[in-house]
Structure 1
């Protein structure tokens, strides 16, 4: 039930509400963290930036953590704006997990405004980065590194549950290894001359490198979805699609398919969109084919294999 002060705040204009929420979070954050460390029965309070690192944090933390996820499913991480609830959660958190590699350009300012005093975990630590590409989760072996980094941070913040975090991470590693082997097997079923990808934006470099697929081009020629193709680049991409024999263009669930469909019509190739669209920057909502990281990679792989073999799902 809301206190009188909380009920009074609910009538305040949004900018004032955000400011009050931030001030309250900053004031009580230290108290919440100290109570968590004093009470071993209280779960570790974790904030995770992206849908992917939130999923990794839940797998590693299990029932010993509560995870507040900042980015919602199918939301472009480049466009995030914090809500009052997000600011309060950050201010009260023990640990904040980020993807890193410059993906969360808004994070430092948000942390400062929220009064966060806990530990920031850069999940990209130890991952071999390709040309500044932040989409490191598209290789499950990178995710093993990310999960290990998260495990170390959780154990440092909550030493009493070190064994639980380690056991959870080992179990997740086994699932990642099995998925990696299954993806490789499925990709091998595509004829070599058809292992070519055109996507909405340049988000799948780590996947392509891991499973030996050829990147022909993207509708948005950048890691950042705010970039746009010029008319000449569109023409050049259509020409390249035709000349290389690309079988399909893959749209992404978090991006509109309109431009991809226009290029597909001009190039005379299938565009994979709608429910079959790939999950690139974000996992999907609960109940979707991309609700978890493991489901997302399985869906992406089945979609790619089906379209490139000529029998889309």
Structure 2
């Protein structure tokens, strides 16, 4: 989309927000229901668990077929956001459109998850692949909800603890994988799964390659050759492929991996429709790594 069309959309949304927020500049009433909006559905899951029956949560992106990078909100999204108390966005340039939706409304509390995790512009934005992100978000939401409804502060804090407890089996699996990891680096198609790999104790064979694919560029021939040689010479533990991205270069490398019996871990950037929740989504991907390690003779 050209810059003039994008500017017109932004102006429409800004106008809607100005009209609506001008009519609703009231302070938060602790007896009122809390309205939360999240840019991404898996952040919405955390918000629902922590909020309980004390309000409502709306996630703008619910489909795995929508690319958050290129998403453009509708005027209806702007109207809905104008009624919210708390907006949760990923930040780090991943969903700038979400931040724009609240830029004219000072009554909305913005939770930027990237900033919450002490990340800065230019850092890998796929921070939900670090399980600590979801824990920290749960406790931050409990704190913010408690400010809006002090009478329910203890309930929010307990709900956050309960959510973190539900993450424990996944964390146990991560620790088990790390304890028995294969002592080889991994090939990565792009940096979607990198925070998880770091948690699992694996290093990345060629970061130049993944960064080029992430930016939509062709990797340098030398980087392609390096990965080809690493695959052929069995220098890698496995190959992580984001199956939502169509790249002939990655497809060719994946085929080469299969020919040379290098296992492939398939990951996704957005939560698949067949996954009920974030926990099952993460668990299914860690199970792939665990299976590879078991097949490699590690118990």
Alignment TM class, shorter chain as reference: 0.7 to 0.9
1:120 CA drift (Å):
0.8
Partner residue of 2:271 out of 256, 272, 283: 283
- Return closer, same or farther for 1:143/1:119 CA change in 2, 3 Å cut-off: same
Match of 1:216, SS state, is: coil
Partner residue of 2:129 out of 129, 133, 138: 138
Partner residue of 1:237 out of 199, 217, 227: 227
Match of 1:305 in 2: 290
- Return closer, same or farther for 1:30/1:178 CA change in 2, 3 Å cut-off: farther
- Return closer, same or farther for 1:230/1:186 CA change in 2, 3 Å cut-off: closer
Runs of at least 5 residues in structure 1 that lack an aligned partner in the other structure: 1-14
- Is the 8 Å Cα contact of residues 30 and 149 (structure 2) preserved in structure 1? no
Match of 1:8 in 2: none
Q: Report the Cα distance in structure 2 between the residues aligned to 1:116 and 1:243, rounded to whole angstroms.
A: 57
Matched, 1:50 2:40: yes
1:88 CA drift (Å):
1.5
Match of 1:7 in 2: none
Match of 2:112 in 1: 122
Match of 2:242, SS state, is: coil
Deviations 1:175-214 (A, max 9, x none): 2233211322245455x235x4323311223212222122
Match of 1:163 in 2: 154
Deviations 1:7-38 (A, max 9, x none): xxxxxxxx999977764554334656749x44
- Return closer, same or farther for 1:94/1:50 CA change in 2, 3 Å cut-off: same
- Return closer, same or farther for 1:17/1:50 CA change in 2, 3 Å cut-off: closer
- Is the 8 Å Cα contact of residues 203 and 223 (structure 1) preserved in structure 2? no
Match of 1:251, SS state, is: strand
Matched, 1:147 2:135: no
- Return closer, same or farther for 1:193/1:242 CA change in 2, 3 Å cut-off: farther
Matched, 1:212 2:201: yes
Q: Report the Cα distance in structure 1 between the residues aligned to 2:235 and 2:263, rounded to whole angstroms.
A: 16
1:254 CA drift (Å):
3.3
Match of 2:187, SS state, is: strand
1:136 CA drift (Å):
2.1
Partner residue of 1:200 out of 161, 171, 189: 189
1:57 CA drift (Å):
1.4
Partner residue of 2:172 out of 181, 191, 213: 181
- Is the 8 Å Cα contact of residues 249 and 270 (structure 1) preserved in structure 2? no
Q: TM-score, normalised by structure 2?
A: 0.79
Runs of at least 5 residues in structure 2 that lack an aligned partner in the other structure: 1-6
- Is the 8 Å Cα contact of residues 193 and 267 (structure 2) preserved in structure 1? no
Match of 1:28 in 2: 20
Match of 1:227, SS state, is: coil
Q: Report the Cα distance in structure 1 between the residues aligned to 2:16 and 2:161, rounded to whole angstroms.
A: 38
- Return closer, same or farther for 1:225/1:161 CA change in 2, 3 Å cut-off: farther
- Is the 8 Å Cα contact of residues 123 and 150 (structure 1) preserved in structure 2? no
Q: Report the Cα distance in structure 1 between the residues aligned to 2:262 and 2:148, rounded to whole angstroms.
A: 47
Q: Report the Cα distance in structure 1 between the residues aligned to 2:155 and 2:145, rounded to whole angstroms.
A: 10
Deviations 1:109-137 (A, max 9, x none): 33347x57411112334525497222222
